[in-house]
């Protein structure tokens, strides 16, 4: 990893119904206490983005790689950083089949937890609005992030259409 460049991984996690997982950071943290966040973190020396993503999901919410139903790479976005201009976040869309209660139970067993609570929000537009119109999110809203939101919405619409077609075929 180049010392003049920071790389992060961020995952928009959804359940089978297309709800989006928001994580609330603990209030006693030094960095962005009490703010909402996605499952994300910085890449360590020698890691590739997918390794970082699996590690962060395990560390932050206790989800194992084999519990992920679907993973889609959304691309890379330039992200604002206080010290460096050359910062990249590798974005992923993850589908899991765990309830809010199951994830919150796992948070109790995560070593050195950053997250206080997990909750599903109805759809990507809720996340977009929290991100865009409030100071509750840890990361900054950008035009590139808006493109990610649009892509996620399209993928969620595709999932919904596929479910509808499967339901019609079963009838």
pLDDT digits (tens, 9 = 90+) for 42-76: 999 999 999 999 999 999 999 999 999 999 999 88
Domain assignment present for residue 17? The answer is yes
**Across-strand partners of 14?**
20, 95
Domain assignment present for residue 47? The answer is yes
Domain count, the chain: 1
Domain assignment present for residue 1? The answer is no
Model-level pTM? 0.82
pLDDT in tens, the chain (171 residues): 445 678 899 999 999 888 999 999 999 999 889 999 999 999 999 999 999 999 999 999 999 999 999 999 998 888 766 665 668 889 999 999 999 999 999 999 998 889 999 999 988 888 888 887 777 877 776 777 778 888 888 888 887 888 788 888 887
Which CATH number goes with the domain that contains 139?
3.90.79.10
Please, is 131 exposed, middle or buried when counting C-beta atoms within 10 Å of its C-beta (0-12, 13-18, 19+)?
A: buried
Please, is 48 exposed, middle or buried when counting C-beta atoms within 10 Å of its C-beta (0-12, 13-18, 19+)?
A: exposed
Domain assignment present for residue 124? The answer is yes
For residue 48, give its domain range.
6-170
pLDDT in tens, 153-163: 888 888 788 87
HSE-up of residue 78 (Cα within 13 Å, Cβ side): 5
The one-character DSSP state at 114 is -
From the list 14, 23, 12, 56, the residue with the least C-alpha distance to 147 is 12
């Amino acid at each position: 990893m180049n010392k003049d460049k920071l790389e992060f991984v961020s995952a928009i996690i959804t359940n089978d119904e297309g709800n989006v997982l928001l994580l609330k950071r603990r209030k006693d943290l030094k960095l962005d206490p009490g703010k909402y966040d996605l499952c994300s973190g910085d890449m360590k020396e020698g890691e590739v983005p997918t390794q970082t993503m699996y590690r962060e999901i395990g560390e932050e919410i206790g989800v194992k790689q084999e519990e992920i139903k679907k993973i889609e790479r959304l691309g890379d976005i330039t992200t604002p950083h206080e010290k460096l201009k050359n910062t990249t976040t590798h974005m992923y869309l993850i589908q899991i089949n765990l309830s809010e209660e199951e994830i919150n139970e796992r948070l109790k067993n995560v070593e050195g937890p950053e997250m206080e609570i997990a909750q599903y929000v109805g759809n990507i537009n809720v996340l977009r609005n929290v991100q865009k119109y409030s100071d509750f999110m840890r990361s900054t809203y950008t035009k590139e992030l808006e493109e990610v939101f649009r892509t996620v919405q399209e993928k969620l619409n595709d999932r919904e259409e596929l479910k509808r077609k499967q339901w019609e075929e079963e009838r």
